[in-house]
Amino acid sequence: MHYPAPMQPAPPSTIAPRRVFIETFGCQMNVLDSELVRDQLLALGYRLVPSAADADVVLFNTCAVRATSEQKVLSRLGVMGKRKKERPELVVGMLGCMAERAGADLQRALKHLDVVVGPSELDRLPALLDEVAAGQGQVRALSGHAVRRSRTLDAAMERLEALDQGRLVDPDQASAQRYVRVTRGCNKMCSFCIVPFTRGPETHRDPDAIVDEVRRLVAAGAVEVTLLGQTINHYRHGEVGFAHLLARVHDEVPELPRLRFLTSFPRDFGDDALEVMATRARICPFLHVPAQSGSDRLLKKMNRGYTVEQYLELVRRARSALPQLAIVGDMIVGYPSETDADHEASLELLRDVRYKTVYVFKYSPRPGTVSNARDPDDVPDEVKRARNQQMLSLQHAISLEHHRALVGTAVEVLVEGAAKLDPGDRQGSGEQALVQIARPARTDGVRLTSRTRGDHIVAFHGDAKLVGTLARVRVLRATPLSLSGELI
């Protein structure tokens, strides 16, 4: 495949507005997409500002996975609609999965936007913003299902590759934790999930491009790189499968202290990948492998393609290869027709697996999915809420046991920032403004937050200069959600 040269900073175009604010909702893939959008705009002379109030262009990079993710964006759009009445020249755009979905139910909210861009069209954003500035009215760039047609897929992927390759990696921009895309889209078609429709079919990046990107990020100061894909263990490019890719990134970038990857699909997780993890110390002993349910009947309805026993077999295999492994899962409660017995089976799965963390989601019907058309959303919301609570309290008890086992030990952590994060900046969900955590001004010691190799959160008191570096901390206290300790 031919790669265009990385984008060079160009003189600002005379018609484009300058100051841009990007707010990101949803998954890590969106965080990465926002970063690439930002880099694209910075290279063209735009300036990033930390609040929508200071911006000429406000972009929301959105998530469509659950109705609640969309509601947050809709309320932002309400605020922006009012602001546009006072400042008609303000440009407001929606990027990402909610834009791609652009369902009938969203048309009223979309009407007032200037630009609507799906996740597979983000490379076109600068040109679209120029069109808006030239007075074109609303512009939309959506893939629809066209990207599913193989005829257009290669071309679409080559264009998108330019977006990843255009990444700015100068040390000034550097953050210690970086994401690198490995796989785009998803072919799984889990019956509840909108991602295959919004992000299109699974395609895999060239391993040389991936290794090269990791190398450039590490040269610019990255301490931890997370490889991203919806079903990352399905990676295949020519002869190179996932285990081989993981080994290559690890072996060919020996200066990288920490390598991780997200998200694994429970089927086809090979012993070869576990072997690569077990024999390469800089790969973190961490696996995010969602089960979604502990009921075989529901797994079948969800089209997940494995049974509870097959899932547990993977967990046993992984733990025997990697005794220190931290396993993280996702579970859906209240999937259509879920009975008390199904729910009990899901709780039993949590007890069997003993996850480090579980993200629990209440089933949310998504337009266009098989579940939505086939299965009535018949579990009442109060039942979903009760099951959600029950599952979380069970998991909290399990997480607390994992955390207590670490009390008294010394752990290596990557220091992320001051412990009091933005209220919106929560792990795994919620919105994240695309402004990197600034180094706190005080240097006489502050409450810092950090993560272990198993992704446990550890708070401790230390010099703010430690942000972005690895430190050793003795763990003193444990709660279900985090640890605290002292710098060694």
CA–CA dist 327, 287 (Å, integer):
5
DSSP 315-357: HHHHHHH-TT-EEEEEEEES-TT--HHHHHHHHHHHHHH--SE
**Interface residue with ligand SAH, options 263, 357, 450, 484 (CB under 6 A):** 263
| Minimum CB–partner distance for residue 292 and ligand F3S (Å) | 7
| Minimum CB–partner distance for residue 400 and ligand F3S (Å) | 28
**Interface residue with ligand F3S, options 22, 168, 193, 211 (CB under 6 A):** 193
What ranges in 149-301 are assigned the alpha helix state H?
150-165, 195-199, 207-219, 242-252, 271-279, 296-301
DSSP assigned state of 44: T
| Minimum CB–partner distance for residue 43 and ligand SAH (Å) | 28
**Interface residue with ligand SAH, options 38, 66, 215, 451 (CB under 6 A):** 66
**Interface residue with ligand SAH, options 22, 31, 128, 195 (CB under 6 A):** 195
**Interface residue with ligand SAH, options 120, 226, 364, 432 (CB under 6 A):** 364
Using an 8 Å Cβ cutoff, are 183 and 227 in contact?
Answer: no
Number of residues that bind ligand F3S (CB under 6 A): 10
Token pair for 65: 């996975």
CA–CA dist 312, 114 (Å, integer):
48
**Interface residue with ligand SAH, options 196, 290, 454, 468 (CB under 6 A):** 290
**221 vs 368, beta carbon nearer ligand F3S:** 368
CA–CA dist 98, 195 (Å, integer):
10
Q: Please give the residues from 390 up to 449 whose contact with ligand F3S meets the rule CB under 6 A.
A: none
Binding pattern for the stretch 152-191 against ligand F3S, x by CB under 6 A and - elsewhere? ----------------------------------x-xxx-
CA–CA dist 429, 277 (Å, integer):
27
Is residue 25 helix, strand or coil? strand
CA–CA dist 396, 41 (Å, integer):
42
CA–CA dist 143, 195 (Å, integer):
13
**Using the rule CB under 6 A, is 395 a contact of ligand SAH?**
no
**Using the rule CB under 6 A, is 195 a contact of ligand F3S?**
yes
CA–CA dist 119, 111 (Å, integer):
19
**Using the rule CB under 6 A, is 363 a contact of ligand SAH?**
yes
Token pair for 163: 């977006």
Q: Please give the residues from 218 up to 277 whose contact with ligand F3S meets the rule CB under 6 A.
A: 230-231, 265
| Minimum CB–partner distance for residue 286 and ligand F3S (Å) | 19
Name the site residues for ligand F3S (rule: CB under 6 A): 186, 188-190, 193, 195-196, 230-231, 265
Residues within the interface to ligand SAH (CB under 6 A): 27, 65-66, 192-193, 195, 230-231, 263, 290, 292, 330, 332, 361, 363-364, 366
